Amino acid sequence: MPASPDSFGHAEAHMLSHAGRAPRILVVGSGWRFLSGISYYTCRLSNALHDRYEVGAILMRRLLPARLYPGRDRVGRSLTDLRYDQDVRVFDGVDWWAVPSLFRAVRFLRRFRPDVLVLQWWTGAVLHSYLALALAARRLGIRVIVEFHEVQDTGEARHRWATRYVRRCIRPLLSRTDGVVVHSRFDQAALAEAYDLGAVPAEVALHGPFDHHLPDRPVREPGDDMCRLLFFGTIRPYKGLEDLVLAFADLGPNYHLTVVGETWEGWTGPGEMIAESPVRDRISFVNRYVADTEVNEFFAHADVVVLPYRRSSASGPLHIAMSHGLPVVVTAVGGLVEAAEHYSGAVLVPAAEPGELREAIVRAAGLTGRRHADPSSWGRTVDAYTRLLTRIGITHEPVIDNATSSNQTVPLLSPDLR
């Protein structure tokens, strides 16, 4: 289970006695209750940073009233086996209404006394909490880094009031920011266009691997020439699933498509297209957010992963696919080009072009039969953080802990950007 709200316990004196040995980093991001890809990323990043630094984490526990969350029916359910390293001190967590959880989080920050506070940015729902934590940090002389997963959530951006709120209220946060991290040069340009950050140092840290989903792949039955396609992730307007359903209808009978994902933003059109497809008998539709054990099975049984996004900054399913070494058809949009450019199993295709998507699927089918090497690395992600820490004046020599590795494929106890 996640750590209790004030998770210092017997380790507090130990940490304080080693002050100065290595910089302390306090990561703030999504918790497990409102499970999403940012929940997984926050955990994996914290564990990776722990290989070199002393690390703590503050989790955003309740992001907003559950009735407003697209995945409201699963809020609070235990769907993941991933856990924080036992030496990462965790405060779980902060609720959207702030009292008293935000005050407790500030107390946790003061007791942990990090050198730098790292805020994971993906939704305006956390803005008021992040601003309070940043203000408390700056009063204590703590540097603030914001890691942008995207400028603003696409669902929020559809609402004018939400866009105005974020664009206006994020400025006090950014004015107190010492450095920023993005996942691609594309995101760096988009961020510069959205906000004038002036001379604030920025580093590109490519997304690390999601290699916690790696079971043994099943042995194919002799004579089985069916090519199994997988679409995985939340079903939202920008995901382009409707393009895949159209493209799949023109593929031959030796192709099967499995669609696994929870419907968000009322985007039911792709599901209706599946129901009406002339090849419905070759499509499996799992319309929900699946637990980790099921994620393992779906990717283990896939031959090709297809991600026909119409826009995207980063993709957890892409990194799960690459960790499995699977061929992946991905549209050449946003930061996905940089994420997949060194992956031998990637077939890039223009967005919103079902005909070209169908041809790309056929090409990707020719890449099956071998495991493609995943080029992503949490070590490189941490290297980017180390460069940024140096640029903002945190130059202590980090402690290298070789006893544990954040890249282990078996979780310590046993998440997507889905």
Residues in Cβ contact with 97 at an 8 Å cutoff, skipping those fewer than 6 apart = 62
239 band by pLDDT with thresholds 50, 70 and 90 = very high
Rg of the Cα atoms in the chain: 21
Residue 99: CB atoms within 10 A of its CB come to 8
- Per the omega criterion (within 30 degrees of 0), is the bond before 93 cis? yes
pLDDT at 16: 41
Give me the sheet containing 179-182, strands edge to edge: 89-95, 54-62, 24-30, 116-121, 143-148, 179-182, 202-204
Class of residue 252 by CB neighbours under 10 A (exposed 0-12, middle 13-18, buried 19+) = exposed
pLDDT band at 418, cuts 50/70/90?
low
> What separation in angstroms does the CA of 239 have from each of 155, 161, 261, 285?
12, 24, 11, 16
Predicted confidence at residue 336, as pLDDT, reads: 95
User: By CB neighbour count within 10 A (0-12 exposed, 13-18 middle, 19+ buried), where does 287 fall?
Assistant: middle
Q: Where are the alpha helices (DSSP H) in 146-234?
A: 154-157, 160-174, 185-194
For 184, residues 6+ apart whose C-beta sits below 8 A from its C-beta are: 204, 206, 313, 314, 334, 335, 337, 338, 339
Q: Write down the H helix ranges in 175-280.
A: 185-194, 241-249, 269-276
Query: Residue 159's pLDDT is what?
Result: 82
Q: State the burial class of residue 279 (Cβ atoms within 10 Å of its Cβ: 0-12, 13-18, 19+).
A: middle
Model pTM above 0.85:
yes
Res 103: pLDDT: 98
Condensed to tens digits (0 to 9), the pLDDT of residues 319-347 reads 999 999 999 999 999 999 999 999 999 99
Q: CA 117 from chain center: how many Å?
A: 19
pLDDT digits (tens, 9 = 90+) for 44-57: 999 999 999 999 99
DSSP states of 16-81:
HHTTTSS-EEEEEEE-STT--HHHHHHHHHHHHHTTTSEEEEEEEEE-S-GGGSTTGGGTT-----
Tell me, what's the pLDDT at 158?
A: 80
Point out the least confidently predicted range of 72-86, 91-105, 171-185, 206-220.
Answer: 206-220
Mean pLDDT on 2-28: 58
Position with higher pLDDT, 325 vs 13: 325
Residue 101 has pLDDT above 80, yes or no: yes
- Strand-strand pairing, 227-232 and 255-260: parallel
Locate 200 and state its tokens: 């604030």
Higher-pLDDT residue of 114 and 212 is 114
251-282 tens-digit pLDDT: 999 999 999 999 999 999 999 999 999 999 99
Model pLDDT, residue 223? 58
Stretch 55-79: mean pLDDT: 94
Contact in structure between 330 and 309 (CB atoms under 8 Å)? yes
pLDDT, tens digit, for every residue of 155-199?
777 888 888 988 899 999 999 999 999 999 999 999 999 898 889
Query: Is the distance from CB of 161 to CB of 119 less than 8 angstroms?
Result: no
Please report which confidence band the pLDDT of residue 406 belongs to, taking 50, 70 and 90 as the band edges.
very low
- Burial of 176 per CB tally in 10 Å (0-12, 13-18, 19+): middle
pLDDT(413) > 50: no
